[in-house]
Amino acid sequence: MPLTSGSKLGPYEIVSPAGAGGMGEVYKAKDTRLDRLVAIKIVSGDVTQNSELRQRFEREARALSSLSHPNICALYDIGQVEANGSEYLVMEYLEGETLAKRLERGPLPIRELLKTGVEIADALDKAHKQGLVHRDLKPGNIMVTKSGAKLLDFGLAKAQTPAMAAAATFDAATAAHPTSPITQQGFLVGTFQYMSPEQVQV
């Protein structure tokens, strides 16, 4: 059920819709305690009721909470919608556009291309050093902002260290339709067009 402007989720007041994905809706909201804008990602009822998708949501929360980097979207909080039991993530609100949207206007100038590439490589290096592989790196999961590029959506992240692997054992895989963000077992993980050769060969 879509939320309207002025709706409350605990201390968070919904301002406006900000987008939607396979796992639910994203809203621009205000944290009334700290007087700052945040992004709230509310997972759909299907995710809440499906144990595999719920594990994916929980993995994204754990992955984001373990990472602190200027080029990775920060996680502030998690919560539950009292009305229907849906869960949500409270994240850094980013002003800008996805790299996919930006590329619709044409290629990046070389200086901007190099800057964005270095920032995302640095963010991935941080994640890898903490034992996380993103597994869905694509222009749609990179936000271009005035302060630099930000890596989004760790819903398919895979833990590589024993401690993290124990906390995130579920291994989802992408459905046959290559643009679908919903995952199913028995298929490739991620978005086919952007997979590394190693992923495809597994």
Q: Of residues 31, 46, 122, 136, which has the active-site annotation?
A: 136
Instruction: Find all residues with CB under 8 Å of 139, minimum gap 6, and list them.
Output: 98, 99, 100, 102, 103
Query: Could you tell me where the DSSP H helices lie in the chain?
Result: 45-49, 51-65, 99-103, 110-129, 162-167, 197-201
| Other C-beta atoms lying within 10 Å of the C-beta of residue 11 | 14
Is 136 in the active site?
Answer: yes
CB atoms within 10 A of CB 110: 8
Q: Which residue has the tokens 């796992």?
A: 23
Residue 77 CA to residue 79 CA, distance in Å, equals: 7
Residue with tokens 């640095």: 122
Provide the annotated active-site residues.
Answer: 136
